[in-house]
Amino acid sequence: MHALSSYLILSALLFSLGLYTVITRKNAVAILMGIELILNAANVNFIAFSKFVTHHVEGHLMAVFIIMLAAAEAAVALAIILNLYNDHGNINVDEANALKR
Amino acid sequence: MGEVIFWVIWALVAVSAMVVAFSKNLVYSVFSLLATFIGVAGIYIFLNADFLAVTQIVIYVGGILVLLVFGIMLTNRIVVAKITQSSLQRTTGLVVVGAIFLVLVLTLLNQTWPLATSAAEFDSTVNNIGELLFGDYLILFEVASVLLLGALIGAATLARKEL
């Protein structure tokens, strides 16, 4: 049906856009969104390879663990971002350059 | 028909991810991230990953996206729905990321992958995933549960006002 490369190109696009978001945004929540895009790109790759190359569901398991890590990471990151907001009044990462105030 | 739906979902993921990356309004970004996650769930369905598609919708759309929206709403003074965001080094970032994308695409198009010979498709992946989770991957599964518990306690502790 669809070639493997159509999935891989989509995944490369998602990764690039996520990377662009991470390196250019100032807002910490936007950076978190970029990280989610990158993790989704990795998941698409894992599942595409598990269908087309290995033909085994182990790739799906990796994707399950990645989703789980993304959930844990989002919760902890949100807590850190809230602390940053309480300390600085905004969440621009380029202004958060002091360990302690 | 399936072909058309596939490319529609493909375009949905690509365009909404671009809105996430380029939109000046943070609220637009987070809502187009919703479209990206749902589109990726559709891509999973085309890859016969039924369990993953449902997991993607439940966890990403139902959990992580809600967390992100909370993060935006709690860290801005909401007077209007327009929450702007600015970016640093747009041009340099675009050049670097465009080069990386080009290298990735050229590499994967010139690569011959060792494709599986049989084109047989998975019936349902749920049974296989469950057997692997409680068989070969049991230790990883248990470690993951402890990690989630730790992340939950850590997040609750960090988010308290007085540390």
- d(C-alpha A8, C-alpha A19), whole Å: 16
Chain segment A54-72, per-residue pLDDT in tens:
878 888 899 999 999 999 9
Which fold, A4-88?
Answer: Helix Hairpins (1.10.287)
Chain segment B113-141, per-residue pLDDT in tens:
777 766 556 677 888 888 888 989 999 99
What is the residue extent of each domain of chain B?
1-103, 122-163
- Chain B, 4-23: which have a CB under 8 Å from a chain A CB? 6, 10, 13-14, 17-18, 20-21
**Among chain B residues, CA nearest to A63:** B52
Chain segment B54-101, per-residue pLDDT in tens:
999 999 988 899 988 888 888 877 666 566 677 778 888 899 999 999
Interface pTM (ipTM) of the complex? Answer: 0.90
- Chain B, 130-159: which have a CB under 8 Å from a chain A CB? 132-133, 137, 140, 144, 147-148, 151-152, 154-159
CATH, domain B1-103, list 3.40.50.970, 1.20.120.1200, 3.30.465.10, 1.10.1200.10: 1.20.120.1200
Q: Which residue of B116, B121, B159 is in closest CB contact with A79?
A: B159
Q: From residue B35, give the alpha-carbon distance in Å to each of A58, B20, B40, B42.
A: 27, 10, 8, 10
Chain A CB contacts of B38 under 8 Å are: none
Percentage of residues of chain B with pLDDT beyond 90? 45
Q: Look at residue A56 and give its three-state secondary structure.
A: coil
